[in-house]
């Protein structure tokens, strides 16, 4: 009891699962999901058209094309993840976004005018063969999702340990490591069986720390948000660029990503420096640091 209480109540600690078992795709494209009945893609297309008709008929005829153009990039993204049940339908997400657009834009850390007047991001968008308006809407759409996702990462110590133990039951071969910091000293354990026994013993006792809130260090959470935002944008925007297979990112993609982080207040400094090739190191390091990170927006990707 004393040892576990000391570990969990007094020390800063991290448990790492080396194969990123936590980070399975919630929004894995259907073709990559196992155990899913083959989807009738024509049926899904017809279903989306039905949703569109119900949505757009609520607006005046002369504004319908403009509205659909605004949400086109969001629709492209959502079509990749059409898995649905009685309560979850990603194909409706673009329309639900537009219904609440005004309130969602109020949550953005920048205005639509600031986006339109930011010449550096507009230049990058043009070089990528994108349209500014649907790009803006996609950023706003994703920002709300990622903000909601990040807030859900705050949990209790007991719940977090329970999650780890549950995942270990699914994959007993996963490797664990634990780093404990005492003052200026770091103690690292790599014995998975020992770490698991500590966690099980911890959960078998009714400790005060089980109910305490635990969150990732602010810097880690901020960098995770940075990566989620720019990588999802770059992976899903319908860019029109010629890029050799061996080139991961061209300069326009880097510039666009850095400008997006700057607008979202996730990157500080003079934009003529931090949003250009003078700051490629920031973008490249972010991509390297999260190279094995699988994007997940668990528990409600869209709504």
Instruction: Give DSSP secondary structure letters for 226-292.
Output: HHHHHHHHHHHS-------TT-S--HHHHHHHHHHHHHTTSS-S-HHHHTSGGGHHHHHHHHHHTTT
Range of the domain at 247: 39-153+219-289
pTM of the predicted model as reported, rounded to 2 decimal places: 0.69
Q: Establish if 272 belongs to a structural domain.
A: yes
Q: Establish if 252 belongs to a structural domain.
A: yes
* pLDDT the model gives residue 5: 42
Q: In sequence order, what are the residues at sequence separation of 6 or more whose Cβ sits closer than 8 angstroms to the Cβ of residue 216?
A: 153, 224
Neighbouring C-beta atoms of residue 13, cutoff 10 Å: 15
Q: Establish if 300 belongs to a structural domain.
A: no
Burial of 233 (0-12, 13-18, 19+ CB in 10 A): buried
Does residue 44 sit in the same domain as residue 144? yes
Q: Establish if 32 belongs to a structural domain.
A: no
Does residue 193 sit in the same domain as residue 254? no
Domain count, the chain: 2
Does residue 123 sit in the same domain as residue 231? yes
The answer to whether 286 and 227 have CB atoms below 8 angstroms apart is yes
Does residue 52 sit in the same domain as residue 122? yes
Does residue 75 sit in the same domain as residue 94? yes
* pLDDT the model gives residue 91: 81
- Residue 178 φ/ψ, nearest 5 degrees: -135, 130
Can you give the pLDDT of all 303 residues of the chain as single tens digits? 344 444 444 333 444 443 332 223 334 444 444 444 566 778 878 888 988 999 999 999 999 999 999 999 999 998 886 554 444 467 888 999 999 999 999 989 999 999 999 999 999 999 999 999 999 999 999 998 888 777 666 566 777 777 778 877 777 777 777 777 777 777 787 877 877 787 777 777 765 554 554 555 566 678 888 999 999 999 999 999 988 888 999 999 999 999 999 999 999 999 999 999 999 999 999 999 888 777 654 433 433
């Amino acid at each position: 009891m004393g040892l576990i209480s000391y570990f969990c109540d007094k020390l800063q600690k991290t448990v790492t699962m080396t194969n990123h078992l936590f980070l399975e795709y919630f929004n894995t494209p259907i073709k990559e999901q196992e155990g899913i009945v083959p989807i009738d893609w024509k049926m899904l297309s017809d279903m989306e058209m039905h949703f569109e008709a119900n949505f757009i008929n609520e607006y005046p005829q002369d504004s319908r094309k403009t509205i659909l153009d605004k949400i086109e990039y969001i629709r492209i993204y959502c079509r990749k993840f059409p898995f649905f049940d009685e309560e979850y339908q990603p194909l409706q997400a673009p329309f639900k976004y537009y219904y609440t657009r005004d309130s969602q834009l109020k949550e953005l850390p920048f205005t639509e005018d600031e986006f339109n007047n930011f010449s550096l991001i507009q230049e990058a968008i043009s070089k990528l063969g994108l349209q500014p308006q649907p790009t803006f809407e996609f950023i706003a759409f994703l920002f709300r999702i990622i903000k909601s996702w990040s807030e859900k990462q705050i949990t209790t110590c007991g719940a977090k340990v329970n999650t780890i133990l549950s995942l270990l039951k699914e994959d007993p071969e996963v490797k664990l490591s634990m780093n404990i910091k005492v003052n200026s000293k770091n103690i690292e354990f790599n014995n998975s069986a020992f770490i698991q026994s500590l966690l099980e013993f911890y959960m078998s006792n009714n400790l005060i720390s089980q109910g305490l809130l635990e969150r990732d260090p602010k810097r880690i959470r901020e960098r995770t948000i940075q990566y989620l935002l720019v990588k999802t944008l770059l992976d899903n925007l319908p860019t029109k660029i010629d890029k050799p297979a061996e080139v991961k990112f061209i300069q326009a993609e880097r510039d666009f990503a850095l400008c997006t982080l700057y607008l979202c207040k996730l990157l500080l400094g003079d934009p003529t420096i931090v949003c250009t090739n003078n700051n490629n190191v920031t973008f490249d390091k972010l991509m390297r640091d999260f190279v094995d990170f699988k994007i997940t927006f668990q528990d409600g990707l869209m709504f």
